[in-house]
Amino acid sequence: MGAELIPAVAAEVPVVAPALSVEARAYALEASALNTRRAYRAAWADFTTWCDATGHPPLPAPPETVGTFLAARASTHKAASLSMRLVAIGQAHRLAGHRLDTGHPAIRETMKGIRRIHGTAPAKKDAAVADIIRDAVAELAKRSGLRPLRDRALLLVGFAAALRRSELVALDVADVAFVAEGMIVTLRRAKTDQEGRGTEIAVPFGRGARTCPVLALRAWLEAAGIEVGAVFRSVSRHGTLGPARLSDRDVARVVKASVEAAGYDPTTFAGHSLRSGFITTAAREGVAERHIQNQSRHKSLPVLRGYIRRGSLFVDNAAARVGL
């Protein structure tokens, strides 16, 4: 296999046998989530571009070359991003029949030094807590047309169901069942359910009509005349419904635009702010951890507790009781 073929293959298939049939290869391409394949493709392209610029061979690359690349990116990339690049480089080597020793001191010690000097804490976006969602929805209510209806439904459903961006835009009409208590949202596939077993999420009616996710979704579907297919679709600037399903990037744009209209700094929010906002708000309201986990579907308790702790920093805070 030529080196020029490795980027696409490494980006799409973590490990495949070279003699796979076309049909088997098609299944193998789906072994990793689309976002994962996209990230690997970008990571490998970054490495090969750097190798071309510095005169290093990308494949096979000696550990010293990989270590030097990681060091060159340390000032502009997070440790987690560098770790992902290392995985992509290793997979490209395996696919081409080469072995990259990622435990070699040139790589291991370089990464250890990067983590020590630059740290490993991820840059966190603000959580769109309930008060922010209410403010954003109030601004959307002042506007007419399909787009404000769609954006209101997207914010409220994404928040109340604690959905990831990819889960939100993947929803079809068939995945939503309106029931006496509210609605049941079925996720056909999720980050923690790559094999598609399916997960049901209950979303009750809200306390007020304006902020009720159930009523908001119904209003959007009825106004847009959507009966089958994608729930959240494009709407032109002229208010015309498009056939295209929204992307995960569109979710981030909607969140940023909505909070900005409500007077918040959009640069501190992202698509994930809806999910983290639900967890943070629930933690502040004293909701039990197991109930939050049931809605958020976190498999890792330490990850969930990170959100809960951040959301509860000022709840029963000891510093508030020492008399200052």
Active site amino acids: 164, 191, 272, 275, 298, 307
Torsion of the alpha carbons at 37, 28, 246 and 258, rounded to the nearest 10? -40
Is 33 strand, coil or helix? Answer: coil
Of 86, 53, 58, the closest CA to residue 71 belongs to 86
* E strands, the chain, in order: 176-179, 182-187, 199-204, 233-235, 241-245
Q: For residue 314, what are its two tokens?
A: 């000022």
**CA gap 175, 258 in Å, rounded:** 25
> Any idea what DSSP says for residue 318?
G
The dihedral region occupied by 126, where left means phi > 0, alpha psi between -120 and 50, and beta the remainder, is beta
DSSP track, 75-124? TTS-HHHHHHHHHHHHHHHHHTT----TTSHHHHHHHHHHHHHH--PPPP
User: What is the DSSP secondary structure assignment for residue 322, as one 8-state letter?
Assistant: S
